[in-house]
Amino acid sequence: MRVIIVGAGQVGSSIAADLADAHDIVVVDQDGDRVEELTYSLDVLTVQGDGTSLSTLDEAGIDEADMVIASTDDDETNIVVCATARAVSDAFTVARVKNTEYLRTWERSERAFGIDFMVCTNLLAAESIVRVVGIPAARDVDSFAGGRVQMAEFEIPPGSPVTDQTVAEADRFEQLTFAAILRDDELEIARGDSILHERDRVVVIGNPRSVRGFATTIAPEEPPGTAEEVVVIGGSEIGYHVARLLGDRGFKPRLIEQNGERARQLAEDLPNAVVMENDATDMDFLEREHVGDADFLVAALDSDEKNLLVSLLARRLGVDRTVAVIDTSEYVELFETVGVDVGVNPREVVAEEITRFTRDGGAENVAIIESDRAEVLEVEVDAESVLVDRPIHESVADLPAGVVIGAITRGDEFITPRGDTVLERGDHVVVFLDECVVDDVTPKL
């Protein structure tokens, strides 16, 4: 495809890097320095100019474009870019927004604003946080096959019962497949004799009950499910959506917001949450309200530094796990090193969502692991698939290393893949792929 990306910030640059190998990419931005940097760092064409201007889109080749992705930091600009593109071309349009009101409008009216697909940064970030609540030690969770299959990434905590066990010893669940182990900068496909070490990140695929069971095995001290007590710090849009989504799932979160007017509004809008008005960095308040008794704390304030401070205070008070919203992508690894359990960068989350949507190859669903170090795909097996009508041990032999068949669904039935399992046409298969084999293997599935 020919894809025009308007906005060369973190989101646009990330999408361009992910798609450049398989598509013709043109990146448009008003910042000359960004444009020059992308010209030398990626195999893409660049245009310096205003993406809302027809002349700029013409220069970018809008007549030949198959897709336009508007990914600037301004909602209204992205909407105008898509509307302009729709007015003069047949390109499929994708817009990134932060304001959920625009998303609600778009959802109620098919192709509103001239936009074919809209993603909301704040809502996606909140959803990514909520998915790991209630699953001990989880860093990331994605659902496949209508919720019948889950992929989860766990970090082995200090003192975990599975530390120094082999995968074969830790694998006590019939409907669970160990896919990979991430250690420092290395990715190892999990084998029966692979040894699990403290702080390893383990990717598993299975039915939700087995995934939760493994989570409890890794971190038996943490309560699973809605028994977890959750505190949300900050009534930002992300903080609000985290509390709302948790309430919808049966949790009773506490939310702390310093601004009185905002706190009163949140109390009205969140019937399933307890909203408290106070400064979340006030140690006396945190101790008085027994915040240290919480199992899970989400730091969703308006600055990275405040979120780091609150997370470290929470850990000092005794909170089991912390998640911090981190706007500066370069800080994520640093914050996780000094004590934050999971750092969520909203721009990275939305870039991955757009990349997932634009990937070809017939995948029903895609999860991206650790900023593109690996992918988990859901595909429907068709007559052309290398997997159809063959035992798995035969079909995998025709594929490169770095491929793991994680789960199979046949109608409503969950099937644990074994070497002699024969895949049929119409089966849905969830596959783990090392990043280096994605482009080669995906078309064959």
What mean pLDDT do residues 430-442 have? 90
Say if residue 8 is in the same domain as residue 111: yes
Q: Is the model more confident about 264 or about 441?
A: 264
Record the tokens describing residue 26, joined without a space.
């043109």
Domain-located, residue 224: no
The pLDDT value given to residue 110: 74
What is the structure's pLDDT at 329? 86
pLDDT at 70 over 70: yes
Average pLDDT of the chain, as a whole number: 92
Cα–Cα distances (Å) from 170 to 194, 195, 323, 338, in that order, read 10, 9, 26, 29
For 208, residues 6+ apart whose C-beta sits below 8 A from its C-beta are 143, 147, 148, 150
Contact indicator for 259, 280 with CB cutoff of 8 Å: no
Let me know whether 381 and 301 are in one domain. Answer: no
Phi-psi region of 444 (alpha: psi -120 to 50; beta: other; left: phi over 0): alpha
- 142 and 76 within one domain: no
Question: What's residue 372's pLDDT?
Answer: 79
Q: Which of 197-201, 317-321, 347-351, 410-414 has the lowest mean pLDDT?
A: 347-351
- What CATH number does residue 184 fall under? 3.30.70.1450
Tell me, what amino acid is at 280? A
**Mean pLDDT in residue range 214-239:** 87
Provide DSSP, 77-140: HHHHHHHHHHHH---EEEEEES-HHHHHHHHHSTTGGG-SEEEEHHHHHHHHHHTTTTSTTEEE
Same domain, yes or no: 111 and 204 = no
**Is the Cβ–Cβ distance between 354 and 93 less than 8 Å?**
no
Average pLDDT over residues 113-123: 93
In a domain, 396, yes or no: yes
Residue 175: inside a domain? yes
How far apart are the two ends of the chain, measured CA to CA in Å? 20
Question: Does one domain contain both 316 and 280?
Answer: yes
Mean pLDDT, residues 201-210 taken together: 95
% of the chain beyond a pLDDT of 90: 78
Does residue 98 sit in the same domain as residue 9? yes
Tell me which of 61, 80, 115 is where a domain ends: 115
| Residue 184 burial class via C-beta count within 10 angstroms: exposed 0-12, middle 13-18, buried 19 and up | exposed
Query: Is 70 exceeded by the pLDDT of residue 61?
Result: yes
Residue 169 within a domain: yes
pLDDT at 111 over 80: no
Residues 130 and 207 in one domain: yes
Kindly write down the DSSP assignment for every residue of 337-388, as one continuous string.
Answer: HHT-SEEE-HHHHHHHHHHHHH--SS-SEEEEETTTTEEEEEEE--TT-TTB
In a domain, 223, yes or no: no
- For residue 166, what are the β-bridge partners? 195
| Boundary residue ending a domain (115, 134, 168) | 115
In a domain, 120, yes or no: no
Q: Do the domain assignments include residue 137? A: yes
Per-residue confidence band for 75, with pLDDT thresholds at 50, 70 and 90: very high
pLDDT above 70 coverage of the chain, percent: 98
Check residue 359 and give its pLDDT: 66
Residues 418 and 438 in one domain: yes
The pLDDT-based confidence of 351 (bands split at 50, 70, 90) is: confident
The number of folded domains in the chain is 4
Do residue 429 and residue 331 come from a single domain? no
Which of these ranges, 46-55, 174-183, 434-443, has the smallest mean pLDDT?
A: 434-443
Q: Is residue 121 part of a domain?
A: no
Whether 335 and 378 map to the same domain: the answer is no
Boundaries of domain holding 436: 351-444
**Per-residue model confidence (pLDDT) at position 33:** 92
Return d(Cα 220, Cα 433) in angstroms, integer. Answer: 30
Query: Does one domain contain both 185 and 285?
Result: no
Residue 265 makes CB contacts below 8 A (sequence gap 6+) with: none
Residue 52 sits in the same domain as residue 98: yes
Residue 361 has a pLDDT of: 54
Residues 6+ apart with CB under 8 A from 147: 208
Residue finishing a domain among 183, 218, 253:
218
What is the predicted pLDDT for the residue at 394? 92
CATH number of domain containing 99? 3.40.50.720
